[in-house]
Every structure is written in structure tokens, then in C-alpha cells.
Amino acid sequence: MKKMIVLVIMWIMMLAAVGVFAFLVYDHFEGKKEKEEAVETDYKEPQSISGKVDASSGDADGKEGSGKVSESGNTGKEEKTTEEKSPEIIQAETDYPLADPWHYKILDLKETDKTVKLVDAETVMAEAEEKQKQELAELEMKGEKPMEEEIPIITIYNPLELTPLSTASNPPGPEDDLTINGYVYSTNLVLVDADTGDIVVQRDADDIIYPASMIKVLTVLVAADYIHDWADTYEIKGELLDYAYSLDCSCVGFLRGETVTVRDLFYGTIVCSGADACLSLADYCCGGEKEFVRRMNLKLEELGLSDTAHVTNCVGYHEETQYCTVKDMAVIMSAAMQNSFVTDALAQLYYNVPPDEMVEEGIQIANAFMCRIENELPGGEVKGAKTGYSPKIGFNAVSWYETKDGHKYICVTVNCDSTWQSIYDHMALYRNYT
């Protein structure tokens, strides 16, 4: 009997030992699995340092949107492999963090069966040259051929007559100056329905162009992401002024050592295209132009434009590596229209930099486009605009327009022979095709 009891006890102890061993093995593998899951849970795609993107909705202020936003801040398109950030970039992101993220809807441009495709610039050029040859041949037959120096040089700035839509809200009439309201001179242009993304009119809209100071719309769009206090102040640095003037850029007129508000820098960048304001704004927001430009290119990625657009400076001076298309500028302007800070700056006819100890009378600056086009379009109103100039691309402009019934349009024109003609092209397109 005693042997039986001892045997049972031994069996119980063996079973207990096996159970303990099995539990330890199970616990080991479960712990390993939990650790692996914890690692997967903790890992996240690096978050974009630019403003959040809402690919489905967004209000006029760009502050709220109901669409989902990916952790990387992009629009749900195929994500690019993110390179490991350098210590310099990590430090910059720590020192200059994102302000309040805002959501905005990305404009999806598309041609429709109603899209008006204007004759390309090369064809217009060729037709003008052929017409000149015929006129010279006729004069020669009459023995009236002019001296060579009297023969006008054919340039790319040949007017293209517009055929207004039958549904145009305010087509030019007989009493209107048709040289302003009936023709366009820009070699590249696009007019977009900002409510639908439909391209209304286009001319060589996919060509790569140099945006010049139009890029400052992107500059202030990015800056708005990093401004926490609009009343904060900044002391103008002499080296930034020297840099701006060495490039022969337009400037607000800030003085070295002068203390101005961030709002002054922001409005000075757009209203009068001040390079001194622009470079100072980049320095305030990101510690310098280099880091600011990096964030501008991140914004281009968020907007889905990085394949055709690239930025190498925030001012807009000409560089072969700074380029985009007129369609890209329309998408950038659409995002700008959804940010209340940017739209207010773009809408200003004038802006007054308040007096201070160094400039007792203050500084008044003006947006030439907005001043010239004011009250010129009875069918609606231009709500904001930015011009630009480059020897490589002539005079250009981007603007947005709202009809009396609230319909919104964006217009981008490139390569005119004067600022005024660029403005007139916008007037003509709005009057004939909205």
C-alpha cells in the first residue's frame, strides 16, 4: 500500500513538472510574440513636417476637414521611401515645429470635352512669319519693299484672338477695348474651374516653365504652417538684405537691425514681392532658406506635384532647377485659396508697415495686379493675385476669380512682354470664358 502511495505521488510530481515546463515554453514564445507586435505597433512612417492634406474635403479656412489623413500627411497616393533624416534636419524640425495643422482639398485637374485648347505659341509664331513674308513679297512686287531695319521683328508675343463662350458671364462688347479684352499674348496659360478641377482653357499647359516670383504663393503657403504668433517680432539681418539686393530683387525696404512683426514679413512677401521680407520669413520659420526650401519641396510632394515641380529658392529668382508647369501653379493657388491667412495677403491692394523707431513714417506697399484689375470685371471680382518676372520666361501671373454667383476660377499665364499685358490676359480669359 505504501509503495502504491509513493508511486502516485511520484506520478503527480512528474505531471506537475511537465506542466511547469510546458507553461515556461508557452510563456517564452508568447512573450516573444508580444515583443514583436509591440515593435510593429510602435513603428510609424515619418510624419510630414508640412501641413496636413485632406484629399476629400476642407473648408475655406483650411482648418477643418472630414476626410482621413494618412500619418505621413500625404494624399493616399503611393508613398515614396523616406530616407533617414540627418541630425541637422531632426534638429531643425525640433527647433521649428509645425503650428496648427490644417486640412485642404487638392485640386484634381482634368480636361473635358468642353476644354478650349488655344493655338500653341509655335504655330502662332509660324503663322506670323508666313504672313510677314507674304506682305513683303507683295510690297516687293510693287517695288515698295522697305529697308531691312524697318521690317518689324517677329517675336513670341503675337496676339491670339479669343472666341468667347456663348455662356460667358460678361463677354466684351463693341464698346470695350478688344486689344485688352479680346486677345491673349501669353505663350503658356491655363484657366481652371476651381470648384470642379475642370480645365476651361489651356495653351501649352504641360510645358515646363520658370515660375519666378509666382512661387512666393508657395512660400507663404508653407510659412503659414510654421507661424505660431503673428504678432511675434523679427530683427532684420544685414546679410539677408545684402543677399536680396545682390540678386537685384524687389524689396519692401526694411533696414538692417529694424524690428518688424512676422505679419509684416508675410504680407511684404506677397503684396510687393519683397525679397527682404521673403528671406527673413524663411529665416524666422525654419532658421534659414535651405531648410525652408526643403519644406517647400515637401509641400509639393503633398500636393502631388513633385514629378513636374521643384524649388531651389524661396524668392523666385531664376534657376534652371526651379521649375513647374502652369497647371502646377493652379494646384498651388487652389491650396492657397483654402488658407485664410494666405488669401488675406493675396487680396490686399495695399499694406502698411507700421512706423517704428527706424522708419518713423512707416512703409506702404501695393499689389500692382490687384490695384490695376480692381472694378474691371463687372461679372465678378479677382480675389487674389501674384505676379512674377524672369528674363527666361517674361512676365507672368496667377490669380483667382469669383463670379457674382460664387463660382471660383484660377488663372495662370506665363511669358508676356509686360506686367500690364499679363494682367490684361487674365481679364480677357475671365471675361470670355467664365
SS3 category, 204: coil
Quickly list DSSP for 351-419.
EEEPP-SS-TT-EEEE-HHHHHHTT--TTEEEEEEEEEEETTTEEEEEEEEEETTS-EEEEEEEEESSH
When pLDDT is cut at 50, 70 and 90, the band that residue 54 belongs to is low
CA distance 186 to 423: 10
Q: CB within 8 A of 334, min separation 6: which ones?
A: 105, 106, 107, 192, 194, 410
Computed over every residue of the chain, the mean pLDDT equals: 85
Q: How many CB atoms lie within 10 A of CB 426?
A: 28
Domain membership of residue 142 (yes or no) is: no
Does a structural domain hold residue 119? no
pLDDT for 43 equals: 27
Residue 179 has pLDDT above 80, yes or no: yes
The answer to whether residue 261 sits within a structural domain is: yes
Which domain CATH number covers 247?
3.40.710.10
> 387-398, pLDDT tens digit by residue?
999 888 899 999
- Positive or negative, the CA dihedral 137, 140, 145, 149 is positive
Query: Measuring CA to CA, which residue among 151, 148, 153, 84 is closest to residue 125?
Result: 153
Are the C-beta atoms of 72 and 66 separated by less than 8 Å? no
State mean pLDDT over 117-144. Answer: 89
Q: So what's the pLDDT on residue 385?
A: 98
29 domain-assigned: no
* Highest mean pLDDT (candidates 39-43, 67-71, 344-348): 344-348
Tell me how far apart the alpha carbons of residues 232 and 259 are, in angstroms, rounded to a whole number. 10
Label residue 196 by pLDDT band (50, 70, 90).
very high
Task: Tell me if residue 235 falls in helix, strand or coil.
Answer: strand
293 found inside a domain: yes
Question: Domains in the chain: how many in total?
Answer: 1
Q: Are 104 and 339 in contact (CB under 8 A)?
A: yes
Q: Which phi and psi angles does 294 have, rounded to 5°? A: -60, -40
DSSP type of residue 149: G
Q: How confident is the model at residue 66 (pLDDT cuts 50, 70, 90)?
A: very low
* Residue 409 belongs to domain spanning: 188-433
pLDDT at 58 over 60: no
Using DSSP bridges, classify how beta strands 110-117 and 198-203 pair: parallel, antiparallel or unpaired.
Answer: parallel
101 within some domain: no
Q: What is the rounded CA–CA span in Å between residue 323 and residue 132?
A: 34
Q: What is the pLDDT of residue 121?
A: 87
127 within a domain of the structure (yes/no) = no
Q: Look at residue 60 in the predicted model and tell me its pLDDT.
A: 38
* pLDDT tops 50 at residue 51: no
pLDDT tens digits, residue range 277-293?
Answer: 999 999 999 999 999 99
User: Is residue 160 situated within a structural domain?
Assistant: no
